[in-house]
A and B are shown apart, each in its own frame.
Chain A
Amino acid sequence: MARHDKAAVPQPAHLLEVQDLRVHFQTGGGVVKAVDGVSWHVDAGETLAIVGESGSGKSVSAMTLLGLVPSPPATFPSGRVLLEGRSLLDMPEQQQRRLRGKDIAMIFQDPLTALNPVFRVGEQIAEMIRVHQDVGKMAAKKRAVELLDEVGIPDPRLRATQYPHEFSGGMRQRAMIAMALANDPKVLIADEPTTALDVTVQAQIMSLLEKLQAERDTAIVLITHDLGLVAAHADRIMVMYAGRVVEEGANDEIFTAPRHAYTHGLLSSLTRMDHARPEKLEPIPGQPPNLARVPRGCAFHPRCPFATDACRAEVPLLVPTIPGSAHRHACVHPDEVAVAHDRPREPAPVVTADTPVDERAPMLEVHDLVKHFPIKVGTFVKRTVGEVKAVDGVTLDITEGSTLSLVGESGCGKSTAARAILRLHEPTSGTVELGGRDVTGLSQSQLRAARRDMQIVFQDPYASLNPRMTVRQILSEKYELLGGQVTASTIPDLLETVGLAPEYADRYPHEFSGGQRQRVGIARAIALNPKFVVLDEPVSALDVSIQAQVLNLLEDLQQEFGLTYLFIAHDLSVVRHISDRVAVMYLGGIVEIADRDALFERPHHPYTQALISAVPIPDPAVERSRERIVLTGDVPNPANPPSGCRFRTRCWKHLQLSDDDKRRCIEEPPTLQPASGDDRHQVSCHFAGEREVLR
């Protein structure tokens, strides 16, 4: 500070401070108040998490700092941003630009698209250095290589000369981090930095960020929807809803003593991987509001169980929970919320079946299922040069009315396996029996008839409904094709079963929210009473509060109609909640299969252990004591898997073995064997052994 004014510039209270920021968008449908009076701050070495569902305004407030919100259409009716006391938004554009990338840097959600595809990775990092530092081209390039090395990219000299498409997703995010840290920024904004990544890669990236933060005393603003991530990594948390802050406080305060009904609702709708007996999910009813028509008063009141007239009257202000506390909430009924939160949750409905799940007859039996995709090259004559072994010998069965989850990271073959079971992809070999009938041998016309019994719900509710058909047409088509009578009440009844109003029948998919669309997808699957339904990541595209609604619906339907589920997922918390049995896949094969609790409490395979340990648990007390197994590297190419045990290249246990034992992993492919003599718990590892990873 060079100036010595009488009105002494007060020592800035915080490294970065945002005051009463409003970001509005002028649209045809009215003014969208994406951010509506938000204040926050962050200090050096600290991690502030901004949490919210899609449309809560969490990203927009951070992007504004970097001038990344285009105006028009955006307007900024109010707000100040102070970086070390200097007011950012009042500076001329050129001066602001000098701070961007230097004092405040940002990493984005999708590393696939955030790097420019036509420039070498090294060049892009060097450019970041050269904009802000007076260094030569060569020096900048050398520094870029060092940075790539620092963020753990092997062979950084070569990697610097490669293009983004030659990097895996995790590598790209590392490169983004290297770029963001090139100028030692004071503040790093991380906008959903791991959402597009697998959970083991997420663990790598987050531990890298923590390490770098400790070394450089960087302030991190972590923007995310993932409460587990927040519990594991945040110091302070700010919860946003419909463009406003509803609650803020220290990590523990938010998780153990929430005072806003929305925070409480979010926590109650979460599935938790570490709870032995699944509790019933208590979803928040309804949908997040349209930001052009935010409800009067507290924006959450239409979905809130505690709402009273006071909530509707005016927008509640953020107030400290006790005078002077930094834990603040904007709820009219904090005490009711506190009481509700301390009440133990109801256990999940116990299936009141006559026979226990494991004694029932199998509904689906899959034996040695193989699906290889040929790799073809050639302009005129295609010749096969190799095979992607997407599914390479999967054996499993699912008993009637139960749920088996197939879990694994992207590319492990879980979705392909499900599609091969349904013969949506023709299996290369192996057999599938549904209710004792061999599906693999059916002719095309027999298969079409058999589809009545086996159905699928897809991952992306935005992609799985034909946009040119109304809900009625979508549902009627199934009856038309599989021979069912559509009476006047068929479609309304079906919609009611999945919790949709019958009036919705004549609407097009784009008129629905994601959760509602997924209900339509479920309605299509359960129409004509199938026996077996594949659920292919049915909730992973949905917001947390909506996930819980859909999971509850799926459980209710299973009970009502005795459905057998094959649940495909990468989210282990959801798996723990919904499954009876769990199979873990890696590179086309099952590495471990067991009853749910056995798998989570006593995992035997090193991969299962790493997978479980990588999933953050939304409970800061638990997270503090957990040890994380961070796997190195990426999943190998399934066209060219490692010899012997396919997991050995990333296996933490492999590294600890003697040379003789290592050779065994390299030479001899392991097979599924009973773990600790338990036939229902099978593991495919030469050196399987229990390890506690959950708590």
Chain B
Amino acid sequence: MTTPTSAGGSPADADATGSAMVLPGPDAAAGGTAVPLGSRGSGQFADIRRRFVRNRLAMVGLAIVTVLIVLAIIGPYVTPYNAFEQNLANTLQPPSADHWFGTDVLGRDLFSGIVYGCRLAILVGLLTVAFSLLIGLTLGAVAGFKGGAWDGIIARFIDVFLAFPPLVGAIVIVRAVGGGVTPVIVALVALGWMTTARLTRGQVLALREAEYVEAARSIGADNRRIVMRHVLPNAIAPVLVYAFTNIGVVIVAMASLSYLGIGVPPDVPEWGRLISQATPFLRVEGKAHLWLAPALAIAITTLGFAFVADGMRDSLDPKLRGGN
């Protein structure tokens, strides 16, 4: 007898999400002529999807990520308290029916804070990665496809940005742009697009010479079409895997900045802030949960994204895992 669980009960959803994330596929761009993706048992994505679904860790990761995203969307509507609301008469309460995770040093409800932090983490993670992708894909594709001077200039540009150790660079930028969530995203994007660009460039460079690109040219396709239709769709998979791996990294980076007191304002229940504010209580009897809750939240989130990314990589490259 199988009882549906939150993880096991939604293979169909997971399926759809999985393929939608990994592979935008050619059909989206092709208009009506194409056979809808996933409606058939075969097709190149079906194999990838099958391998992904068979990967237990990847499915666990997918469940985590799904829950987090749902939490991020509906969180503030279901949490019992306003995450910002301080109640100095009611600080450092232990977990109770009223306050599931207790209250923090400012008397805020910790559970609501964690949920708000989740929303912030997911938002910053996704937006940063999306913008990095946009910049990285564009510059990488231009460098790889155009070559010559374009490639040289973009390569030097990448070198300059790569010269900043990530955290140091982010500190400089956030201080230059000002405090708040937007400057954090700006900083993380500014220091996050280069690897995407390099990856894309390498892929495009290799695919530019592919015979099917030549074939497209031989039937009169212009550069724009070749890049959008023939090169990028084939180049994008490893880039997306990298981007997905990077969501966790971005979330940790934001938390690190907050931990240092940079970026997100001090009153926002951001996970890094919560951890830094709770650090003094780590060894205080009965108060360790203040620290533990946000620390676990970050760890679980990054793990979830890492599992999904690993699963994506392995299912795209069956050789590495020996799927035969």
Contacts and interface: CB of A to CB of B under 8 A. Distances in A.
Interface in A524-567: 524
Contacts of B148: 382
A201 B137 CA distance: 44
B210 interface: yes
A470 to B, nearest CB: 7
A422 interface: yes
Contact of B230 (A455, A458, A466, A482): A466
Contacts of B25: 468
Contacts of B149: 382
A419 B209 CA distance: 13
Interface stretch (B97-105, B217-225, B251-259): B217-225
A521 B215 contact: yes
Given A472-B33, A476-B33, A507-B42, A466 B234 contact: yes
A382 B151 CA distance: 11
B158 to A, nearest CB: 14
Contacts of A476: 33
Q: Which of A449, A470, A482, A507 lies at the interface centre, i.e. has the most chain B CB atoms within 10 A of its CB?
A: A470
Contacts of A366: none
B208 to A, nearest CB: 13
In this complex, the member of B43, B216, B219 whose beta carbon has the largest number of chain A beta carbons within 10 angstroms is B219
A481 B26 contact: no
14 contacts: A448-B220, A451-B218, A451-B219, A455-B219, A456-B218, A458-B215, A464-B214, A466-B216, A467-B234, A468-B25, A473-B26, A473-B33, A477-B219, A510-B44
Which of A380, A466, A468 has the largest count of B CB atoms less than 10 A from its CB?
A468
Given A466-B234, A477-B219, A507-B43, 19 more contacts: A379-B152, A382-B149, A382-B152, A424-B217, A456-B214, A458-B211, A464-B211, A464-B215, A465-B212, A465-B215, A466-B229, A468-B26, A468-B233, A472-B33, A472-B34, A506-B35, A508-B44, A510-B44, A511-B43
B215 A456 contact: yes
Contacts of B230: 466
Contact of A481 (B30, B33, B212, B220): B220
A333 interface: no
A644 to B, nearest CB: 34
Nearest to B25: A468
Contacts of B4: none
B34 A451 contact: no
B5 interface: no
A570 B42 CA distance: 37
Given A422-B218, A466-B216, A508 B211 contact: no
Contacts of A473: 26, 30, 33-34
A219 B14 CA distance: 58
Interface in A468-493: 468-470, 472-473, 476-478, 481-482
B26 A469 contact: yes
B165 interface: no
B219 A470 contact: no
A511 B42 CA distance: 8
B35 A470 contact: yes
Interface in A500-517: 506-508, 510-511
A552 to B, nearest CB: 23
B204 to A, nearest CB: 14
A478 B219 contact: yes
A428 B219 CA distance: 22
A347 interface: no
Interface in A354-391: 379-380, 382
Contact of B211 (A73, A444, A460): A460
A28 interface: yes
B324 interface: yes
Nearest to B220: A448
Nearest to A511: B42
Contacts of B30: 469, 473
A658 interface: no
Contacts of B216: 466, 477
Interface string B18-51: 0000000110001001110000101110000000
A444 B234 CA distance: 26
A330 to B, nearest CB: 29
Interface centre among B26, B215, B222 (most CB of A within 10 A): B215
Interface string A422-450: 10100000000000000000001000110
Given A451-B220, A470-B34, A28 B152 contact: no
Nearest to A32: B324
The dominant DSSP class at the B interface is helix
B152 to A, nearest CB: 6
B219 A481 contact: yes
Interface in B294-324: 322-324
Contacts of A468: 25-26, 44, 233-234
A459 interface: yes
A27 interface: yes
Nearest 8 A/B pairs, CB to CB: A448-B220, A464-B211, A463-B211, A478-B219, A466-B212, A481-B220, A468-B26, A451-B220
A165 B221 CA distance: 37
Interface in A652-666: none
B47 to A, nearest CB: 8
Residue of A419, A422, A458, A464 ringed by the most chain B CB atoms within 10 A: A464
Contact of A459 (B152, B211, B322): B211
A508 B42 CA distance: 9
A73 B321 CA distance: 13
* Residue among B25, B148, B229 with max Cβ neighbours from chain A (10 Å): B229
A37 B18 CA distance: 44
Nearest to B210: A463
A444 B217 CA distance: 11
B220 A464 contact: no
A456 B211 CA distance: 11
B44 A424 contact: no
Nearest to A378: B152
Interface in A68-97: 73
Chain B CB within 10 Å — which of A424, A459, A477 has the most?
A477
A459 B212 CA distance: 11
Contacts of A478: 219-220
A662 B34 CA distance: 65
A460 B209 CA distance: 13
A424 B218 contact: yes
Contacts of B44: 467-468, 508, 510
B189 to A, nearest CB: 27
A506 B229 CA distance: 18
A84 B218 CA distance: 59
Q: Which of B214, B220, B225 has the most CB of A within 10 A?
A: B220
Contacts of A459: 211
Contacts of A28: 323-324
Contacts of A460: 211
B324 A27 contact: yes
A196 B289 CA distance: 65
Contacts of B210: 463
Nearest to B42: A511
B28 to A, nearest CB: 11
Contacts of B234: 466-468
A40 B25 CA distance: 50
A521 B214 CA distance: 12
Nearest to A382: B148
Nearest to A534: B218
Contacts of A463: 210-212
Contacts of B219: 451, 455, 477-478, 481-482, 524
Nearest to A479: B219
Interface string B227-244: 001100110000000000
